[in-house]
Structure 1
Amino acid sequence: MSAQWWNLKTEVCGLNQILKEILDHREGNFLLPFFWQHDGHRDELPGQIQKIWESGCRAFCLESRPFEDFCGEAWWKNLEVILREAKKRGMKVWFLDDKHFPTGYANGTTKTTHPECRRWYIREDHVDLMGPARDISVLIPPCKDDESLISICAFLRTGDAEEISGEPVAFSTRPDDRFLYLDLPKGCWRLFFVYRTRANDSDYISMLTEEGPRALIEAVYEPHYQHFGEYFGDTIAGFFSDEPSLDAPYIGPYGRDPGFYYRTVGQPGVALPWEDLILGKMESSGWSEYWLPALWYSHREHSPNVRLAYMDAVTGLWKRNFSYQLGDWCRSHNVMYIGHIIEDMGAHGRLGCSAGHFFRALAGQDMSGIDIVLHQVMPGMGQYQTAADISEGVADPEFFHYILAHLAASQARQTARMKGRAMCEVFGAFGWAEGLPCMKWLIDFLLVRGVNHFVPHAFTDFFPDEDCPPHFYAGGNDPQFESFSKLMKYTNRAAHLLYGTDMEAAGAILYHGEAEWMNGQGCMFSEKPAKICYDAHIPYDIVPVDSLLRAKAEAGKFMVGERSYGFLAVPSCRYLPEPFWQAAKSLKAAGVPVFFIDAAPMCPEELPGEVVELKKLADHIFSKRLAHDYHAGSALLRIARFDREDTSAFVLFNENPMPILESVRFPAEGKYLKMDLLNEVYEKAETKDGVVDVSLEPGESALFLWGGVEDQEMEAFPKECCWKERSEVCALWDIDLYEQGKAAGYSPFRCQSELINITGRQGNPQFSGKIRYRTSLDLKKAPLGLDLGRVGVSAKLSVNGHDLGWRIAAPYRWDISSYIKAGKNEIEIVAANTLANRIQDAFSRRMPIPPSGVLGPVYLLRTSEKQFEKEDIYG
């Protein structure tokens, strides 16, 4: 029911503390939207910050987009204004840590003061020779600018494609030699020349040395501290790294470019990230510079381990020199370090546009992080590949729906320093067609997967800005802005309730990073078993080998930090690193079930687990009673459990494009609260056996809370309202239009009209703004609800002059019982659409533009049960 919940707070003073804070509007802030900075807008800054405050966000992240005088006098003068305004409002300020994304440009200092910090790569050239041959010579390919020869060696070819075998035959030359003289035994040989090179002449720092990230600190971090050190740890909250990468380029001439999401070891023609430190680490594993060709070409016996040694070195150096160096600097200056890499479709475990290993890449941060932008996740499309403005133009639903958010949530809960903080940059570059229902859908999509901090993308300092809309407020032109605050406040309420809880994970799925390095395309990705589990409502974390090595196992469970797991599922592959097998033996000894999906890998000893078919994984887990069975038939009904002391909260979210009506069997019974945190509707109910009938519209979520509320406190809440009857409202409406940002007020559009799509064929296709509807209804005084049916995209209802607030997603429904009278009742609705109709931006071509206004059918709702048991509570 839509009670004025604030009347409850004097009645329930003994509530669980977190719930009390939510009821009292004292929730914390979990939002830090980007606030884009361009030159020449200093005078507008106080007003822009005020709008961020009005939106419900209590922090923001400044981003040069770009600001040409970044870290110059104009930048510092702007920051004086920004920090003063933020401090006045008690807001926190973050900094995106470079002049422009991706992080690593170091404000251009590699072109001026630190050219030595630019990135190095290795490339190979080769010639195929047939033996036996004596006293032959081969031209040595000349070094290009900024190149040096690392090694020359030959491998015997097997005849199977470009496979090589045996031990390398090493050769040496003098620096000025143009010819290599050699004798060859019988067989076909490939002679390799491996070079250290700048490859793509990048102006970005190397993340693999201590000096590269130090240059970034000197160029960006320390100047901010020198100018505004008094704000650090107070108004200034920290720094944000956006999409730093190793940036391995395809340079050819061999192989073909697989695309920058997919460049990694095992691909001819890809220049691989390099620093001389890598060779030392590989040598400690037994691999000299003469084994480097096995990074590109398959070696019959040794490629998996050569590639593992190389990738371990690369990702370990990133972790120590980039992630930890920046993180340690921030923590030593009393601020936090956050951010994300590019994760798309497995890129997180590769070298092209990412960092080779999700967990190591972010290890030094104080939050884990991801992003969802550019139509990567589309509501209701979790079973389909969808068009998106990303590599190859297609978003893979298995990756984006089943593992991306779980990567962040898993790392945040396995890493003590992160304290469960999982962040997502969200909303960006969907276009103006991305209305509030879509935004709310994305927030719920993330919340139910364990993400609890959000970077909305973005506020900008001028309008119109063609850069990656939608933008919020948009110089007063955004029709949704008034109701955008409802979404932001909902996000803070939900995150406040869920942050700091123990999110349930029945078991763990092994992170496939090392397996992909060793197996290439012969590796099953973690999202495969993740999809099987998630569609069966089996909760899981993603666990890397590094975490398994520090796990403690006993009595059929293993723990990583404070996280407990009842099984480990290992995606199919042929090879796994030796440390995995050590950990797996310990799990088996402690009675922890280990499931190898579809096939057993090559195991040095007896397999420490059992082989399970992928399609039978969920049934196998249930048969061993390793997870609770909710008996929910819809795979796209998402369920997550969050525990805090004696309280269990279950978040349910309908990702199906159709309504869901399910009888869900919860692992809890007795009295509970059903919470609609978006519309602040809190109702009590009870179940004797844990079975609850759940009805959710497409994109609707609900939270069910057991515990934390005493019986006498529970009585202060109204009973759950079940609308049992409905009758269509056959009214005619007076409709007025207000084109926000262009008109002074409302103008008449239609009188005594039926409901139509305001921007449809019979309306004004280019209208963006507010739409006002007025009518009168003759009603009896009785418990009644009003449902508007379809709305594009948000709507506010007033009954007899009483403002009942906004609805930003289905169901567009209000309890009007307390506001109606017997006889004539004045009904007013204000709907708001998006700016897509007016601006028609390119990003909006990737998704449907919602209809505009109230489309109905409008229904009056009735319940056969008395709604209010304690009328005095609601006055």
Structure 2
Amino acid sequence: MNRKIKKLLTNQGGNYIFPFFWQHGEEEAVLREYMKVIDESNIKAVCVESRPHPDFCGPKWWADMDVILDEARKRGMKVWILDDSHFPTGYANGAMAEQPDELCRQSVSCRTYRCSGGETLCIGKEELFHPDPFQPTQIESYIGEKEPRHFDDDRLLRLFAVPFAAQADSGRGSAKSLAEKSIDLSGYITENGISWKVPEGIWKVYALHISRNLGYHRSYINMMDSASCRVLIDAVYEPHYAHYGEEFGKTIAGFFSDEPELGNGHLYATDVVFGKDMDFPWSAPLEDALKEALGVDYGIKLALLWEEDADPEEKAGIRYAYMDAITRLVKKSFSEQLGSWCREHGAEYIGHLIEDNNMHARTGSSLGHYFRGLSGQDMSGIDDIGGQVLPQGEDLNYDDGVFSKRIGEFYHYMLGKLGSSSAAIEPLKKGNSMCEIFGAYGWSEGVRLEKYLVDHFLVRGINHYVPHAFSPMAFPDPDCPPHFYAHGNNPQYRHFGCLMAYTNRVCELIAHGRHVAEIAVLYHGEGEWTGKCMFSHKPAHLLADAQMDYDLIPQDVFADRDGYKTVLEKGVLRVNTQEYRVLIVPYMEYVTQAFARAAGELEVMGIPVFFLEGYPAGLCDCADKEEEKKLLAGMHGCRLVKTEQLIPALKELDFADIFIQPADDRLRYYHYEQEDGSAVYLFVNEGTEGYRGRIAIGDPRRCYLYHAWENCLERADYDGSVLTVEVEPLKSLIAVFDKEGLTQEEEDAWLCRPVKADGEKLVFAGGWERSICRSIDYPDFKDGRKITLPDRLAEEKPEFSGFVRYENEFILSKGQMAEGGRIVLAVTDAWEGVELFVNKSSAGIQIAPPFLYDITGLCREGENEVMIEVATTLEREMAKVPDPIRPKPEPAALSGITGEVRLYYDLTMD
């Protein structure tokens, strides 16, 4: 039998969870208490976050870390360290305030003037040599730097004019470039500014400025400068190694970078794309790279970052050169430098950048390219906070400003796959992926939603989690709830611990092996930089809904074949551990020559390449027009399909790992091959109704079902080809395939019979008695009263949060206790976590309806006592606590048992 399953069944699985443990400078006893409650939540690691701490890397910080590390050693736990004192990573614990100007963050901006022949263009000295002042937004005024550092090295990069008629000459392949059409105005500059008599015609004048006085985080490192990024290492990493070097690679697992950014534009703006009136990132190494890539006229050519009315090919080439240089510098200067330092010191480096609504391929609050931005990390990383992924949120879109924009298709079809794809295709990551999860959903989020979120990312291949967060601050801490313990005030603390045990078990099964996906979807990043493009989540949406699994791959897998271990073989595209038989290309107006060359090769080698909606119009990095023409012709030998015809075209060529009947566009699956020759198929139902059907898998190995929540096995209804299944919403199903079956001894120990609400209905002796208590007072229940079900507690006590207890009795005859009979109790619905006690013995915790319990072993002949405890969220109690960022909606959470409680007896159930 699968050796990982055997480990799990004997409670020997590993730990894949390390929640944020926020530090505010609490007393030693509080820190020790919280390490204990985290450990008792079935979690064996923490990620210590310093953001609220008053003395990061000071005496109090080291004293607190001593306590945390001492508790970690005692408990066999690991410690990760979030690598900065302020959010996001890059503040370097304030060290940039003392650094020379040349290491600080820089931007390039563009101001334009329109003028006509006969006029005299006059620009004063102050205006000529400085960009427009940075105007903070409301959110930047609230959470940004209050007194940003001022710099005196603003400079004019280029000043030139272009005839306005040339702007209209924007057809593809125009004879002259922008630089050739321009007039350099630098010779007209005096110490007082510029006075230029405009020649005949209409002209557009461009003034490009370099400044350190733009942006909302001027006291942060420059991600495109190795020396600037080294400041973070010296300010944070080295002091931790000096204090705890002997613990690196032992108790200290490594460092976590949280949402590092390039920092141009405005905070959390999602429209940071070319053609907008904003600044873009700059650095001295970038300037050198652009000189090499674009030549001496690079300053003039950069105007096309802003100018839309220009030749598309020239615009694409310049924008690609700029973004290519930026993201390669980020990769080298930041991500790989920090990662190399960690590995040289025996630790690992992890984290994530901002992916929200496709920011992963943009500058501003992100790093310009998802794969390059995380290239130096030992795990891929993503995050899901603040209501990004939601049940039935696949097509839910809105745009209500900062923190309130949502592209449902991105979050449900691309976010998770970015993480799992990077983990699979990048050798350094060894299949390891991480998701920061749960944070800032508010107190309305409980274990029911958390179960949905965990399953959402598990079935997309994410195998490590950073729950957000354990906060030891005095309750209630208003900072981005929920908090999983809250000094005993969270009623769902124990239920959360059961969820973490479940999560660790499933992660064990989808780690240290290989994800099977025969379809690759090209990452749209370079396409968005250079022209019109289709987002990668468009085809991903169709594939997932048709149970055709996929990875996202960047064009870099073809440009850097050694780094990605990319090999093209007959019928197979190999990228690291992955084997793809088909490549899907969402429409991109421009692609790289490395990709274009590979596309032709793939088709010739029997690996179909499907271009959606159109072939690329050109190459963004090829100066040789004859070579470009040849490569474009090669791509025209590939297949062109309309988006809506993609799935039929793939099915015609048999590109599907499984087939389900009946069809259901909300059943998700993940196929993972283990190192020992076994496999798991994880199925998750993200719909609202139970799925009952047949899944054609065609695997000759023996099949069992593994129930990760209960940690037991069940015989599968599998005929060697087709698996018959039932998958309820909020409940996963795991099919385990192995060449070897179970021994009789193992079957006796580990096989369980499915629990079903079926058979003869039994009745309870009387009505239900309900009592309640706050979590902190548990188990001191009060306010007992008789009620009928479904309960209407939320209406009766609209401000109550805590535990709700329901008590009743039932009677069993001697015959009903006969061998082979089964007693099943079902709670059809409750909000949220349920624990059942029969005759004062716990039957366990469940968090997803229907709540089904086989209570046969806890029953006795005659009277039997039933006690059901339901743990609510804290939403209703916390509704009166102000939110410092946004107004709270009226509480919507239900309370207690909102369905029915049913009792079944079945003598024949198997």
TM-score (norm 2): 0.88
Matched, 1:614 2:643: yes
Contact 1:671 1:685 in 2 (8 A): no
Give the Cα separation in 1 of the matches to 2:869 and 2:756.
26
Contact 1:399 1:527 in 2 (8 A): yes
Matched, 1:246 2:257: no
**SS of match in other structure, 1:369:** strand
Give the corresponding residue for 1:759: 793
Give the Cα separation in 2 of the matches to 1:88 and 1:759.
43
Contact 1:775 1:826 in 2 (8 A): yes
Mind listing any 5+ residue stretches in structure 2 that lack a counterpart? 131-151, 619-628
Give the corresponding residue for 1:283: 291
Give the corresponding residue for 2:245: 229
Contact 2:26 2:472 in 1 (8 A): no
**SS of match in other structure, 1:146:** coil
Contact 2:371 2:554 in 1 (8 A): yes
Greater Cα offset, 522-531 or 278-287: 278-287
Matched, 1:456 2:467: yes
The amino acid that maps onto 2:878 is I
How far has the Cα of 1:475 moved from its partner? 0.5
How far has the Cα of 1:206 moved from its partner? 0.5
Equivalent of 2:775 in 740, 745, 748:
740
Equivalent of 1:336 in 327, 337, 348:
348
Equivalent of 2:275 in 266, 269, 276:
266
Give the Cα separation in 1 of the matches to 2:730 and 2:641.
34
Give the corresponding residue for 1:432: 443
Equivalent of 1:593 in 608, 614, 628:
608
Give the Cα separation in 2 of the matches to 1:286 and 1:432.
52
> Aligned runs of 1:189-588 on 2, under 5 Å?
189-198=203-212, 199-200=214-215, 202-249=218-265, 260-267=269-276, 269-287=277-295, 288-298=298-308, 299-300=310-311, 301-385=313-397, 391=402, 393-462=404-473, 463-519=475-531, 522-549=532-559, 550=561, 551-588=566-603
Contact 1:264 1:352 in 2 (8 A): no
Matched, 1:628 2:620: no
Give the Cα separation in 2 of the matches to 1:286 and 1:771.
69
Give the Cα separation in 2 of the matches to 1:687 and 1:695.
13
Give the corresponding residue for 2:68: 82
Give the Cα separation in 2 of the matches to 1:568 and 1:847.
47
Gap change, CA 1:863 and 1:668, over 3 Å in 2: farther
Give the Cα separation in 2 of the matches to 1:557 and 1:354.
34
**SS of match in other structure, 1:423:** strand
The amino acid that maps onto 1:727 is K
Contact 2:385 2:439 in 1 (8 A): yes
**SS of match in other structure, 2:521:** strand
Greater Cα offset, 161-170 or 336-345: 161-170
Mind listing any 5+ residue stretches in structure 1 that lack a counterpart? 1-14, 251-256, 868-875
Gap change, CA 1:372 and 1:162, over 3 Å in 2: farther
Matched, 1:61 2:104: no
Give the corresponding residue for 1:679: 710
C-alpha distance after superposition, 1:242-288 (max 9, x if no partner): 011011125xxxxxx9x711213222x21010012223322333342
Gap change, CA 1:191 and 1:486, over 3 Å in 2: same
The amino acid that maps onto 2:793 is T
Give the corresponding residue for 1:812: 851
**SS of match in other structure, 1:413:** helix
* RMSD value, Cα: 2.5
How far has the Cα of 1:307 moved from its partner? 0.2
How far has the Cα of 1:670 moved from its partner? 6.4
How far has the Cα of 1:707 moved from its partner? 0.9
How far has the Cα of 1:617 moved from its partner? 0.7
Give the corresponding residue for 1:850: 893
Give the corresponding residue for 2:667: 637
The amino acid that maps onto 1:641 is H
Give the Cα separation in 1 of the matches to 2:451 and 2:471.
21
Greater Cα offset, 103-112 or 840-849: 840-849
Give the Cα separation in 1 of the matches to 2:38 and 2:6.
26
Give the Cα separation in 2 of the matches to 1:862 and 1:129.
89
Give the Cα separation in 1 of the matches to 2:116 and 2:442.
58
Give the Cα separation in 2 of the matches to 1:98 and 1:500.
30
**SS of match in other structure, 1:402:** helix
Give the Cα separation in 1 of the matches to 2:398 and 2:757.
37
Give the Cα separation in 2 of the matches to 1:351 and 1:573.
19
**SS of match in other structure, 1:263:** coil
How far has the Cα of 1:658 moved from its partner? 2.3
How far has the Cα of 1:722 moved from its partner? 5.4
The amino acid that maps onto 1:438 is L
Give the Cα separation in 2 of the matches to 1:727 and 1:380.
34
**SS of match in other structure, 2:95:** helix
Equivalent of 1:42 in 23, 28, 36:
28
Give the Cα separation in 1 of the matches to 2:46 and 2:448.
23
Give the corresponding residue for 1:839: 878
Give the corresponding residue for 2:738: 707
Aligned residues: 839
How far has the Cα of 1:845 moved from its partner? 4.4
Matched, 1:774 2:807: yes
C-alpha distance after superposition, 1:746-781 (max 9, x if no partner): 224213x323436322x3222222222221112322
C-alpha distance after superposition, 1:162-191 (max 9, x if no partner): 969743223434875435466766643322
Give the Cα separation in 1 of the matches to 2:841 and 2:43.
27
C-alpha distance after superposition, 1:80-114 (max 9, x if no partner): 11111111111111111100210111111122345
Contact 1:122 1:196 in 2 (8 A): yes
TM-score (norm 1): 0.91
Give the Cα separation in 2 of the matches to 1:331 and 1:372.
27
Identity %: 35
Give the Cα separation in 2 of the matches to 1:743 and 1:686.
43
**SS of match in other structure, 2:73:** helix
Gap change, CA 1:312 and 1:696, over 3 Å in 2: same
The amino acid that maps onto 1:684 is R
Greater Cα offset, 39-48 or 707-716: 707-716
Greater Cα offset, 779-788 or 523-532: 779-788
Give the corresponding residue for 1:11: none
How far has the Cα of 1:599 moved from its partner? 1.3
Matched, 1:96 2:82: yes
The amino acid that maps onto 2:206 is F
The amino acid that maps onto 1:319 is K
Give the corresponding residue for 1:830: 869
Contact 2:700 2:721 in 1 (8 A): yes
Give the Cα separation in 1 of the matches to 2:510 and 2:657.
20
How far has the Cα of 1:466 moved from its partner? 0.4
Give the Cα separation in 2 of the matches to 1:759 and 1:114.
63
How far has the Cα of 1:289 moved from its partner? 1.8
How far has the Cα of 1:847 moved from its partner? 9.3
Give the corresponding residue for 1:870: none
Equivalent of 1:790 in 813, 829, 839:
829
C-alpha distance after superposition, 1:400-439 (max 9, x if no partner): 0000010010001111111111100000011111111111
How far has the Cα of 1:844 moved from its partner? 9.6
